[in-house]
Amino acid sequence: MSAEARPASVLPDNPREDFLRAIAHELRTPLQALRMLVEVQRRAAEAGQASDPGLRSRIESQFERLAEMIDQISEAGGRRDPELRPEPLDLALLLRRLTEGRIEMLRVPAARTRHILRYRGPEHATTVGDRRRLKQAFGNILDNAVKFSPRGGVVELRLEVDPREFCVQVRDQGIGIPSGEIPFAARRFFRGSNAPRENFPGPGLGLASARAIVEKHGGSLEIRSEVNRGTCVTARLPSEARTH
């Protein structure tokens, strides 16, 4: 489809400036979080308190968030496919830990809005794939589900295994995507017309990067959505290792 035929929401007015501003914001957010979390750790150490493993893992998550963003920016800028380093892995364990990590990251005791994140699926499901990149792909999908559910709600990550494929589904109760825009939602720089940048910052790379990673593993990504009801992103990965 030509650029002219795309809905206006896919193409920003000033693409370069818009993109650079969004990237700057994306990088500042984990940096700001790091400054605060490191300060919490420094003050705890000064007070002679024992090191908090939860806090340490939150700090590590912010570093990972920065590294993943840099990968996404560099691949989007060079229009490169993600590079994979396949290895045997337990996909169920990866998804479970990813969900647990996000639950820990979303824990803000003083806040009223709550997201309920849960994993549904088998305890174990072994396959071959790039652990880091799959974590990044499903992390992006989970983060989008949370971000576009600003009033909270349930975000469920489900894994189903059959002899041919693994089916990973992330379902939220968020603002959804207008039906005419769904075919473009996993393209770079996509922004739904119901998600203005002033309220939902971000350069629009997360879902595109997730799709590229899933496809590079020989899989596919499908999006179903209804405005104000929620979105369901389904990734299908072949159960046999077919990374390419």
Q: Which residues contribute to the site for another protein (CB under 8 A)?
A: 21, 24-25, 28-37, 39-40, 43, 58, 61-62, 105-113, 147, 150-151, 198-201
Nearest CB to another protein, comparing residues 30 and 121: 30
Nearer to another protein, 61 or 136 (CB): 61
Nearest approach in angstroms of CB 102 to another protein is 9
Dist CA 86 CA 217 (whole Å): 9
Q: Are the beta carbons of 130 and 84 closer than 8 angstroms?
A: yes
SS3 of 135, please?
helix
Minimum gap (Å) between residue 18 Cβ and another protein? 12
- Judged by DSSP in three states, 120 sits in strand
In 10 A of CB 150, how many CB atoms?
A: 14
Structure tokens at 12: 């920003």
CB of 157 to another protein, least distance (A): 18
Encoded tokens for 18: 């818009």
Shortest separation between residue 32's beta carbon and another protein, angstroms: 4
Tokens of 25: 């914001």
Q: Which is nearer to another protein, 106 or 182 (CB)?
A: 106
Residue 26 vs 130, nearer CB to another protein: 26
94 CB-side CA count, 13 A: 22
Which residue, 8 or 38, has its beta carbon nearer to another protein? 38
Match 């002219």 to its residue by tokens.
Answer: 4
Name the amino acid, one letter, at 103: I
Least distance (Å) between residue 210 CB and another protein: 20
Provide the token pair at 55: 């806090």
**CA 171 to mean position of chain CA atoms:** 13
Q: How far is the CB of 20 from another protein (least distance, A)?
A: 12
For another protein, which is the closer residue by CB, 1 or 108?
Answer: 108
We find the least distance from the C-beta atom of residue 33 to another protein, in angstroms, to be 4
DSSP 187-224: STT---TTS-TTTS---S-HHHHHHHHHHHTT-EEEEE
Encoded tokens for 115: 């997201």
Residue with smaller CB distance to another protein, 150 or 218 = 150
